């Protein structure tokens, strides 16, 4: 659903934002007023507001029920200024918006990435199981995934596990089992880590303690 306005107001001023918000609300009313016979595949997944001569604003609602439209891809990047049209990523986004709007649905990207990661983990597990017991491999991979999660949500210092792996790969791969064992013991007990010069939080001791014993 495309809604065009010419606010004649400076970008990012309150009056201009109010005008954009009003245009979005108007476009949403149009969407919800469409007869079901005209939208057999669901209501439009995008509302596009064009402040003529200023910027383009994207709002999405991928359930196609006509629910609340939210800034796309996020509140920081939903406004496309005229100069941004030189950006290839922006051009690709607008092209997909008109030709294949459902391809921009983040949940579909997440599902594809999850499938790819699952396939990679399965291959890794299979290769490790040639030399180690299945349960031992499973426990090792669970530890790695848990540590990556802890790093992503910043329960561990940002980049700690990633930087450790990169450092080991570049310098001494034989140090890997000792380095990760030391990290997991630190996570199990909590305390100061001299490598990152920060205090590591104590995680669920029972869970990590069990995994460390199975090492």
- Domain residue spans in the chain? 2-104, 107-213
Write down the pLDDT at residue 110: 61
- pLDDT over 90 at 92, yes or no: yes
Q: Which one is predicted more confidently, 104 or 119?
A: 104
212 pLDDT exceeds 80? no
Q: Rounded to an integer, what distance in angstroms lies between the CA atom of residue 210 and that of residue 214?
A: 6
pLDDT of 117 reads 77
Which of left, alpha, beta for 132 (phi over 0: left; psi -120 to 50: alpha)?
beta
Is the predicted pLDDT of residue 193 greater than 90, yes or no?
no
pLDDT for position 134: 86
Residues 147 and 156 sit within 8 Å (Cβ to Cβ): yes
Residue 213 pLDDT class (50, 70, 90 cuts): low
pLDDT band for 94, please (50, 70, 90 cuts).
very high
126 CB-near residues (< 8 Å, 6+ apart) = none
Q: What's the Rg (C-alpha) of the chain?
A: 25
3 in Cβ contact with 50 (< 8 Å): yes
Under a CB-based contact definition with an 8 Å cutoff, are residues 66 and 46 in contact? no
Q: From the CB of residue 135, how many other CB atoms can be counted at a distance below 10 Å? A: 10
């Amino acid at each position: 659903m495309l809604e065009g306005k010419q606010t004649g107001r400076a970008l990012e001023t309150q009056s201009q934002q109010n005008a954009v918000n009003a245009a979005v609300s108007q476009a949403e009313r149009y969407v919800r007023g469409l007869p079901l016979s005209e939208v057999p595949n669901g209501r439009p997944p995008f509302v596009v507001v064009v402040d003529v001569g200023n910027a383009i604003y994207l709002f999405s609602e991928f359930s196609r029920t006509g629910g609340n439209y939210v800034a796309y891809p996020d509140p920081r990047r939903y406004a496309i200024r005229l100069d941004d049209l030189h950006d290839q990523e922006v051009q690709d986004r607008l092209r997909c918006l008109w030709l294949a709007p459902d391809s921009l649905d983040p949940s579909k990207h997440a599902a594809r990435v999850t499938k790819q990661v699952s396939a990679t983990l399965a291959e890794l597990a299979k290769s490790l199981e040639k030399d180690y017991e299945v349960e031992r491999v499973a426990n090792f991979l669970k530890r790695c995934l848990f540590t990556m999660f802890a790093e992503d949500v910043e329960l561990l210092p940002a980049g700690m596990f990633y930087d450790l792996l990169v450092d080991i790969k570049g310098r001494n791969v034989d140090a890997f089992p000792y380095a990760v064992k030391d990290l997991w013991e630190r996570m199990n007990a909590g305390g100061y880590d001299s490598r990152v010069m920060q205090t590591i939080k104590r995680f669920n001791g029972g869970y990590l303690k069990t995994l460390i014993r199975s090492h």
